[in-house]
Amino acid sequence: MRDEKYDMKKISAGQAHPSSLWAATATPPSATPPLCESRTADVVIIGGGFTGLSTALHLAEAGASVCVLEASEPGWGASGRNGGQVIPGLKYDPDELNLKFGHKKGELLIDTIGKAADTVFNLIDKYHIECDATRNGWIQPAHSDNVMRSLVKRAAQWAERGAPVEVLDRASVAQRIGTTAYVGGWIDHRAGSIQPLSYCRGLMRAAQAHGAAIHGNTLATNLERQGRHWHVTTAGGARVTAEHVMIATNGYTGDLWPKLEQSVIAANSFIVATKPLPAQLSDSILHGGEVVSDARRLLLYYRRDAHGRLLMGGRGPFADPHGSQDFSHLERSLALLFPQLAGMIDYEFRWAGRVAITRDFLPHVHEPIAGLTIALGYNGRGIAMASTMGRCLAQRLLSSGNADFPFQISTIQPIPFHGLQRFYIAAGVAYYCILDKFS
């Protein structure tokens, strides 16, 4: 069976994005002209999403010369098409991270990820990025008493570390979200929402204002080290020579570096957006502007946007969507959660994008050889985390590795039988469905 991947060569040559949302919003290519002539830089970054752009911005702020190469245009990947939920933290609870990494390293990581949403909102404030930013908290509701017990522990562990969180009872969750589907939950007031493509473009403009060169429609095709320098070749033939290279291609990683693509599962996440909800329903569903992602393994995530639309995201088939029928599972979930919407709503947008899932559900940072840094694998939690990763990586590069770095540097480990990733995903979906039913 053919493993469906994006053909980055065609994307770089201007092939349309599969999402209707994207087609409506593409930026003029003049903002990020392709690389036509060879050049030098201190750091060359491959991939123009949150990871690449946040790193570029923080490096350029400090005076480094930075060049970003993006196969399509900045935000073309997951960064421009995600659910817009700015959530701090990783999929692990703080105490689990302490057990995994030991107290000192664990607490450094917990502190960093706990402040990850601050990183995003501080950048938005500092650079006046217009991206419909709100900060009304993230509700994680529980679908069973068992799950509720684990959420109470999660909230307690963050509260012990001073985070503004609250446990919510059944009535409070029902009142805030507008559904009786849950037994309770918790809210993390550090979280919020953004329009992701606007935020991504804001990072891009801020980096450009500090002198970073950002080249769209520029596919990096090869990396080669000669002495202390790297040469990055692009599809058009121009090269960038730099002392340092960073790969930030996440769920769109190809074969630039051996075994990297095989170290993550590139899974599709699907989103549907309704037309703005009618006024009589607006007050009953997420009227406080919180974002929600539930505690299922196959989670549903949803929020209202600045125009009053209801956005609902979740798993999808491995293949890219071919039509509205590929989103019907999300529309069914939305109808089950909010029966009051029956017959009242139409859908305006449907789209999908790739998240990079790692085997240990942690972001991966690799430094396989001097002068090369790779960061990927946010497991669907990348707005706050990739923005933070960029800040931390820039500090690491600027201090020649001497700054406290909260993430573990690991070796690249390919997932066995990676060619079968579509079957992994199908088997994982079936298995998690069963676990969710019995939890």
Ligand X SMILES: Cc1cc2nc3c(=O)[nH]c(=O)nc-3n(C[C@H](O)[C@H](O)[C@H](O)COP(=O)(O)OP(=O)(O)OC[C@H]3O[C@@H](n4cnc5c(N)ncnc54)[C@H](O)[C@@H]3O)c2cc1C
Give the interface with ligand X as residue ranges (CB under 6 A).
8, 46-52, 69-72, 76-79, 81-85, 87, 219-220, 248-252, 254, 256, 269, 271, 301, 313, 352-355, 376, 378, 380-384, 386
Closer of 49 and 94 to ligand X (Cβ)? 49
Q: Phi then psi for 85, rounded to 5 degrees?
A: -95, 115
Say how many C-beta atoms besides its own lie within 10 A of residue 284's C-beta.
15
Closer of 219 and 242 to ligand X (Cβ)? 219
Q: For the chain, how far is it from start to end, CA to CA, in angstroms?
A: 34
d(CA 273, CA 81): 12
Residue 79 CB, shortest distance to ligand X, in Å, is 3
Residue 101 CB, shortest distance to ligand X, in Å, is 21
Element (H, E) at 3: none
d(CA 29, CA 13): 12
Closer of 168 and 383 to ligand X (Cβ)? 383
Residue 229 CB, shortest distance to ligand X, in Å, is 19
Closer of 240 and 285 to ligand X (Cβ)? 240
Strand, coil or helix: 176: helix
Who's near 430: CB < 8 A, 6+ residues apart?
none
Who's near 433: CB < 8 A, 6+ residues apart?
298
Q: Pairing state of beta strands 239-247 and 229-234?
A: antiparallel
Closer of 116 and 183 to ligand X (Cβ)? 116
Residue 319 CB, shortest distance to ligand X, in Å, is 14
Closer of 85 and 358 to ligand X (Cβ)? 85
Structure tokens at 181: 């589907």
Angle at 289 between CA 190 and CA 156, to 5 degrees: 35
Whether 48 contacts 217, CB under 8 Å: no
Closer of 56 and 277 to ligand X (Cβ)? 56
Closer of 183 and 273 to ligand X (Cβ)? 273
Residue 268 CB, shortest distance to ligand X, in Å, is 7
Closer of 69 and 183 to ligand X (Cβ)? 69
d(CA 82, CA 381): 10
Closer of 79 and 195 to ligand X (Cβ)? 79
d(CA 359, CA 267): 13
Residue 146 CB, shortest distance to ligand X, in Å, is 25
Residue 174 CB, shortest distance to ligand X, in Å, is 23
Residue 271 CB, shortest distance to ligand X, in Å, is 5
Angle at 18 between CA 15 and CA 21, to 5 degrees: 110
d(CA 223, CA 391): 24
* Residues β-bridged to residue 303: 311
Whether 169 contacts 183, CB under 8 Å: no
Residue 408 CB, shortest distance to ligand X, in Å, is 17
Place of tokens 């950002």: 214
DSSP classification of residue 326: G
Structure tokens at 384: 């706050």
Closer of 34 and 211 to ligand X (Cβ)? 34
Who's near 51: CB < 8 A, 6+ residues apart?
248, 250, 375, 376, 382, 386, 389, 390, 393
Place of tokens 């095989």: 262
Residue 234 CB, shortest distance to ligand X, in Å, is 8
Q: Looking at beta carbons, which residue is closest to ligand X?
A: 382
Q: What Rg value do the Cα atoms of the chain yield, rounded?
A: 21
Residue 191 CB, shortest distance to ligand X, in Å, is 9
